[in-house]
Amino acid sequence: MNLHQRVTACDARRQSKTSSRCVAESTTVTHDFEVAGYSQLKALGVGQYVSSGTFSAGEHDWAIRVYPKQYGNVIAHYQPPLFYAGASLQLRNAGVGTEVTASFTLSLLQKDGRVSPMAKRTMTAAFGAPPRDSYGFHKLLASATMLQKWRCLHNDALTIRCVLTVVRTRDTVPPPELAGHLGSLLATGMGADVTFDVGGRAFPAHRVLLAARSPVFRAELFGHMMEKDARRIRIAGVRPEIFELLLHFIYTDSLPGDGEGCDTATLQHLLVAADLYGIDRLKHICEGKLHASVDEKTVASMLALAERHNCPRLRDACLNPNVHC
């Protein structure tokens, strides 16, 4: 294998998989627009319209426009936004760069409130800034005689129904990665600048991160204590498995498996270590888990632990009259 092949193979092994996800969401609304005095609309010219009130869907405002005037018998040239003897849906106040995908149906309602099969049209369109702010249909309307035959015109009024579905896409935000990355940093020891010897085991770590998380480590590693320049520090009085859990929490702000695998003795020792190094959140978590473990067999040791390390919730659980001390 030549150098190029070796480099290519190495790069292939280092390639990481990437992924992304888009979630489509939709909002559907129904708006009825009643046009009263329909016979009076004959006075309107070609391209003139009457408009419904504004209604909202998908975080945008919309309106129905009705164009009652027919332009001859045949529409030779379709020039939006004119919809001869028809109706349209308009996206209100659409600015430059606006892009809204919507599916909509415009239909006429019969006197009994049902949709007329003779006057129903459906379209999907990408709405935007003018002239793309309005889409609709020609010849959705008809003469008064025909509308009466369809049972859509009564008391010189008709109702246009719009069923509008606005489709939105949402990019999902990946879950937080900081804890996982710092956990990997702890596991690999990459860039570690201090090592702790605990019960015969070595734990590489990073001074700055420890100092940021613990006031005791801050004083020990950057203060006037003698260990501030040491590359290797021996820890006494803490079991290695407890120190390992302590470091895991310092780096990831969590316990492995949310601490479900920790027995009572482990939690007691971990609480002591958390108190020793001033990691209050870990101490609080351990106290809460031990609170649920207080019983006749453990109440004496739990009470002593609570008194020594100022754990009021644990102390209250031990002194509860329902628990036999």
The tens place of each residue's pLDDT in the chain, 325 residues long, gives 444 444 344 444 445 556 555 555 788 999 999 999 988 887 888 778 899 999 999 889 999 999 887 665 443 444 444 566 889 999 998 878 788 999 999 999 999 999 999 999 999 999 988 888 999 988 888 888 888 899 999 899 999 999 999 987 655 567 889 999 999 999 999 999 999 999 999 999 999 999 999 999 999 999 876 666 789 999 999 999 999 999 999 999 999 998 888 999 999 999 999 999 999 999 999 999 998 888 888 889 999 999 999 999 999 889 874 644 4
291 CB-near residues (< 8 Å, 6+ apart)? 313, 314, 317
pTM of the model: 0.52
Of 171, 195, 224, the residue at which a domain comes to its end is 171
Do residues 182 and 305 share a domain?
yes
The number of distinct structural domains making up the chain is 2
Q: Judge whether 16 lies within some domain.
A: no
Q: Judge whether 124 lies within some domain.
A: yes
Q: Judge whether 275 lies within some domain.
A: yes
Q: For 103-200, where are the alpha helices, taking DSSP H only?
A: 144-149, 178-188
Of 141, 171, 201, the residue at which a domain comes to its end is 171
Q: For 157-205, where are the alpha helices, taking DSSP H only?
A: 178-188
209: closest CA among 237, 227, 186? 186
Do residues 158 and 249 share a domain?
no
Do residues 159 and 186 share a domain?
no
Interval 129-145: pLDDT, tens: 888 899 998 888 888 88
How would you classify residue 58: left for phi > 0, otherwise alpha for psi between -120 and 50, otherwise beta? Answer: left
Do residues 260 and 214 share a domain?
yes
Q: Judge whether 72 lies within some domain.
A: yes
CA distances to 82, 129, 323 from 163, rounded to whole Å, are 21, 22, 64
Do residues 207 and 242 share a domain?
yes
Q: Judge whether 12 lies within some domain.
A: no
- Domain range for residue 228? 178-319
Of 124, 151, 171, the residue at which a domain comes to its end is 171
Q: Judge whether 194 lies within some domain.
A: yes
